[in-house]
Amino acid sequence: MKHKTFFWFFLPTALAMLLFIALPLTSVVSQSFHAPHEEVLLVSEICDPFGCATESTIDHQATEQLKKDKPLGQWVGFEIYTDRNHLAFKEVAEFWQTRSSFTGFISSLNNLQFYRAMGFTLTYVIVVTPLVILFGLIIALAVNSLHRHLKGLMVFFSLLPMIVTPLVGSLILFWMIDARGIVGSGLQEIFSDPNLSLKASTGLTWVTLIVYGVWHSAPFAFIVFYAGLQTVPKETLESAMIDGATRFQQVIHVVVPHLSPLVAFVALIQLMDNFRVFEPIVGFSASAHATSLSWIIWNDIGQEIRLFSSAATTSVLTIIGVVILLLPVLIRTWREFNPEK
Amino acid sequence: MFLRKIATVVALTTLASSAWAGCGASDGRVSIVGNEFPAIQTVGAGAMECAGGGVTVEKNLTADHQKINVPGMQGNPAEFTTAIVANSSIVALMNNDVIRPLDDLVAKHGQGLQKSQLITVDGNIMGVAFMANAQHLVFRADILDQLGIAPPTTYEEMLVAAANIRASGLMDHPVGGAYAAGWNLAEEFVNMYIGHGGEFFKPGSAEIAVNNQHGEDALHMMRALSDYMNPDYLTHDSNATSAEWKAGNVALMNMWGSRVGPLKSDEVDPTVANNTDIAGPMTVGGGSTPASTLWWDGFTVSKNISDADAEATFMAMMHAIRPEMLNDETSPLAVWLIDGYQPTDAAKGVFAAAAMGTTPYPMLPYAGLMHSAAGKELVDFMQGKETASQALADLEAAYTTAAKEKGYL
């Protein structure tokens, strides 16, 4: 393709990327280095139906000019990154110096919202990602071995969990696992423990969220692997059969190596998605037991007083986290496609 | 009825056939954002009657109103011309300087208003209140009668009553409470802390001061109550708690006055509906101030809109809260502050709250930050993962960090 043709061909995409990816990112990064100007507080007399009281209010006139001159707020550098609600360098150092044991140090980290969220997020990523790949592969192999008349129907049903909007899917499950819901009361019956509740204990809530995560994402892995299965070379499979390989051996030695680029692709997408786990936490009202970085961002900007700088900082930290997680996979892919380097 | 239950109802009426076309205004744009409980729905519907002529009226009544009202009023012209707010949420609007003083509009069109309805800041009218609300005791008269227990007046009595009900085998989890992590849990802490005589901030400053004996006592009482609640209590907001009540699983709870009406509706099992009774808020720890807060709901008018739109908005809202809107159907929905309101039986809880000297929710620019910090930092204590003083220390530290970022400290 000529350079000029390529340029015109690519221009709309480039513009869209600039507008919807690069610009918002720049804005988020610059917001994270700024904090609102200091507010000047006034003592005012506020009267309402219950009487009058002197309360503090904000003096807008005092900072009007300042806000007009510097609408972004004041430059604070990395102050928000290191404060207690984010990386909390000072607190972590303090916990480390006063630790009685390593487990004591870890449990005191749990008091800091960033590390509390990271604890759940990383567990979720580490458990859900391999399970999604495993289940995706199993479902794909199972569907692929069905009679061709059944395949279309099964593909459709297997995709359903992914078609349901995450928030709606988690809300439906939330009501089913309620102590008075069908799954919740069923479990109480099975374990004959009337106080058993999936929502009341941190461990069980994590299990619920992880099961939901696998349920929701496995269809994605399934459909990718299913497509890949259609391209497995028949000759290799047949020669493996002639060599006396069992079905399991065929899968391990022929199918899986053939699908390995797809495994890398699914792992990449899943690591990224799972690190940003959010909807199930809201849907399951699980914030008492499990939070994630995305949930913290949502919480910061969903309150009566919104903390934009804090949310921006957590967003940047999320992006950094995703990059760190993806680095091994990215390096591997790079090597695969550039073997000579 | 189904439509009304959908969280967000956006309706646009431009038909000129309305009997009230314009409600006195010749043209203008009215756009309302507010909460979704029945009393607010009534007010929203009242304002919709004014559509017609050159006046358009839209409403967006949703539980998420506080997430959208500030952004929707910051633009110029603002998307929303009025926000229906309460004493906590008006603060966010004042903090962001998006509402206008109403002195001229009240002088021109506000003849029917009582002086107590006006929300003033240093003499400037910033809002018009139309109803009051509070959390107070809701109890099942039949259950308490059966066991010979009087309706509790203190939280300590509530614990004894709950133990009796559980021992009798009538209910396993007789206490209800909107203790969902987040806003609701923080609200219960605010109630309980005030009941113990606590002050949230050092006088005249934004410095928080809750890590004290009052705070610890408040948390320990909340923990003691939670032992009698459904084990899922940290996920139960007001809606879920109401559902537990309707299902007949709960006999005692601290609930919003504005939410009692639906508990007695025809849809509910008659045994529950007919035996649902209310009383004033409870005190705690030997204090005389009830462990509850007083709230008002009212409307404000946007700053970033034309004067004509502001006038049309004000007139439509005045129409919605005119004395004639009170009837047998609307009167029990709330404790209306409107002239001519005759208190119904459903209002006795909120009236008792006012008579007992319940503290209004603090209208401080930084109270919201304390509230959200409490919503996420107190859950560890409720689950028994840390001590009360550790939870309160975390709350103070989380608040202080956020308040510094916002420029309050």
By CB atoms closer than 10 A (0-12, 13-18, 19+), residue A265 is middle
Distance CA A262, CA A259 (A): 5
pTM: 0.89
Q: How many CB atoms lie within 10 A of CB A53?
A: 14
Q: Is B231 on the interface with A (CB under 8 A)?
A: yes
Q: Stretch B136-146: mean pLDDT, rounded?
A: 96
What integer is the mean pLDDT of B183-202?
A: 95
Residue B381 belongs to a domain with what CATH number?
Answer: 3.40.190.10
Q: Would the CB atoms of B386 and A111 count as touching at under 8 Å?
A: yes
In the DSSP assignment, the letter for residue B358 is: P
Task: Find the mean pLDDT for residues B187-202.
Answer: 95
Question: Nearest CA to CA, how far is A6 from chain B (Å)?
Answer: 40
Residues of A in contact with B371 (CB under 8 A): 303-304
**B305 and B370 housed in the same domain:** no
pLDDT above 60 (res B15): no
> Quick one: closest CA in B to A296, which residue?
B376
Q: Mean pLDDT, to the nearest integer, of A17-28?
A: 94
A301–chain B nearest CA distance, Å = 8
Looking at the complex, does the CB of residue B106 fall below 8 Å from at least one CB of chain A?
A: no
B182 and A46: CB-CB below 8 Å? no
CA distance B117 to chain A (A): 6
Q: Which residues of B touch A283 (CB under 8 A)?
A: none
Residue B3: per-residue pLDDT: 47
Degrees to nearest 5, angle at CA B61 with B60 and B66: 95
| DSSP assignment string, A192-236 | T-TT--TTTSHHHHHHHHHHHHHHHHHHHHHHHHHHHHTTS-HHH
Residue A62 pLDDT greater than 90, yes or no = no
Q: For residue B405, what is the nearest residue in chain A, using CA coordinates?
A: A35
Please name the member of A80, A91, A304 whose beta carbon is closest to the beta carbon of B92: A304
pLDDT band at residue B16 using 50, 70 and 90 as cut-offs: very low
Nearest CA of chain B to the CA of A228: how many Å? 42
B268 and B210 in a single domain? The answer is yes
User: Does residue B307 share a domain with residue B332?
Assistant: yes
Beta carbons of B401 and A55 less than 8 Å apart: no
Identify whether the C-beta of residue B349 lies closer than 8 Å to the C-beta of residue B295: no
Residue identified by tokens 């929707």 is B72
> Between chains, do B368 and A197 touch, taking CB under 8 Å as contact?
no
H or E element, residue B28: strand B27-34
Of A35, A39, A303, the CB nearest to B372: A303
Same domain, B179 and B287: yes
Domain count, chain B: 2
Contact B363 A55 (CB under 8 A): yes
Question: What's the rounded Cα separation, in Å, for the pair B298 and B86?
Answer: 6
Instruction: Decide if B88 touches A, using CB distance below 8 A.
Output: yes
Do residues B178 and B292 touch, judged by C-beta distance below 8 A? no
The pLDDT tens digits of the residues spanning B330-371 come to: 888 889 999 889 888 888 999 999 999 999 998 899 999 999
Provide the pLDDT confidence category of residue B198 given band limits of 50, 70 and 90: very high
B231 chain-A contacts, CB cut-off 8 A: 179, 195, 197, 199-200
Q: What is the pLDDT of residues A40-58, one digit of tens each?
A: 888 889 999 988 988 888 8
pLDDT band at B7 (very low <50, low <70, confident <90, very high): very low
A105-115 b/e (C-beta count within 10 Å ≥ 16 → b): eeebbebbbbb
Question: What is the span of the domain harbouring residue B142?
Answer: 134-293+359-406
Query: Nearest by CB to A46, which of B88, B363, B394?
Result: B363
Helix segments in chain A, DSSP class H: 3-17, 23-32, 60-69, 79-82, 89-97, 102-109, 113-144, 148-163, 166-176, 182-190, 202-229, 234-242, 247-250, 256-275, 279-283, 293-301, 308-337
Q: Specify the pLDDT at position A340.
A: 61
B255 plus B373 within the same structural domain: yes
pLDDT of B4 > 70? The answer is no
* Shortest CA gap B27–chain A (Å): 31
| Residue B20 scores a pLDDT above 80 | no
State chain B's mean pLDDT as an integer: 90
Q: In whole angstroms, what separates CA A210 from the centre of its chain? A: 12
Residue bearing tokens 């304002």: B47
List pLDDT tens digits, range A221-278: 999 999 999 999 989 989 999 999 998 999 999 999 999 989 989 999 999 999 999 9
Where are chain A's structural domains? 114-337
The first and second tokens of residue B384, run together, are 């028994």
Candidate from A44, A48, A113 with C-beta closest to B376: A113
Query: pLDDT tens across B79-102, in order?
Result: 999 999 998 899 999 999 999 999
Torsion of CA B91, B93, B94, B99, to 10 degrees: -140
Chain B's closest residue to A57, CA to CA, is B365
Is a pLDDT exceeding 50 seen at residue B263? yes
Give the largest Cα separation in chain A, rounded: 92
Give yes or no: residues B313 and B387 share one domain. no
Q: How far apart are CA B233 and CA B178, in angstroms?
A: 7
Q: Decide if B398 and A202 are in contact by the 8 Å CB cutoff.
A: no
Tell whether B398 and B345 lie within a shared domain: no
Instruction: Count CA atoms within 13 Å of residue B98 on its CB side.
Output: 24
Instruction: Return the residue of B nearest to A302 by Cα.
Output: B67
Which chain B residues are Cβ-neighbours of A41 within 8 angstroms? 206, 365, 408
CA B234 to CA A254: how far, in whole Å? 50
> Do A50 and B354 count as a contact with CB atoms less than 8 A apart?
yes
Residues B358 and B388: their CA atoms lie apart, in Å, by: 25
Q: Is the pLDDT of residue B21 over 80?
A: no
Domain A114-337: state its class: mainly alpha
Strand B27-34 relative to strand B118-121, pairing = unpaired
Place of tokens 């610009």: A23
- B6 pLDDT exceeds 60? no
For chain A, say whether B368 makes contact (Cβ under 8 Å). Answer: yes
Among B313, B329, B351, the domain-final residue is B351
Residue of A50, A54, A108, A109 to mutate, testing the B interface (most B Cβ within 10 Å of its Cβ): A50
- Nearest Cα neighbor of B160 from B257, B40, B282 is B282
Task: Tell me if B168 sits within 8 A of B296, measured CB to CB.
Answer: no
Q: Is the peptide bond preceding residue B77 cis, with omega within 30 degrees of 0?
A: yes
Candidates B94, B180, B204; nearest CB to A57: B94
Q: Does residue B17 share a domain with residue B141? A: no
Q: Do A195 and B231 touch (CB under 8 A)?
A: yes
Separation in Å, CA of A102 to nearest CA in chain B:
18
A179/B397 touch (CB, cutoff 8 Å), yes or no: no
Please tell me whether residues B142 and B186 are part of one structural domain: yes
When pLDDT is averaged across residues B214-224 and rounded to a whole number, the result is 97
pLDDT of residue B19: 59
Long-range contacts of A330-335 (CB under 8 A, 24+ apart): A330/A268, A332/A264, A333/A264, A333/A268
- Look at B296 and A50 and tell me if their CB atoms are within 8 Å: yes
The alpha carbon of residue B78 is apart from the nearest alpha carbon of chain A, in Å, by 18
Residues B232 and B381 placed together within one structural domain of the fold:
yes
Cα separation, B258 vs B330, whole angstroms: 12
B405 and A180 in contact by Cβ < 8 A?
no
Which residue among B95, B232, B371 sits closest to A179, beta carbon to beta carbon?
B232
Residue of B234, B236, B230 whose CA lies nearest to B249: B230
Q: pLDDT tens, A117-170?
A: 999 999 999 999 999 999 999 999 999 988 888 998 999 999 999 888 888 989
Same domain, B257 and B370: yes
Going by C-alpha positions, the residue among B185, B272, B170, B265 that lies closest to residue B225 is: B185
Interface contact B372, partner A, CB < 8 A:
yes
Q: State yes or no: pLDDT of B200 exceeds 90.
A: yes
* Coil vs helix vs strand at B153: coil
Query: How many Cβ contacts (< 8 angstroms) between chains A and B?
Result: 156
Q: Is B43 on the interface with A (CB under 8 A)?
A: no
Of residues A329 and B185, which shows the higher confidence score?
B185
| Co-location of B6 and B128 in the same domain | yes
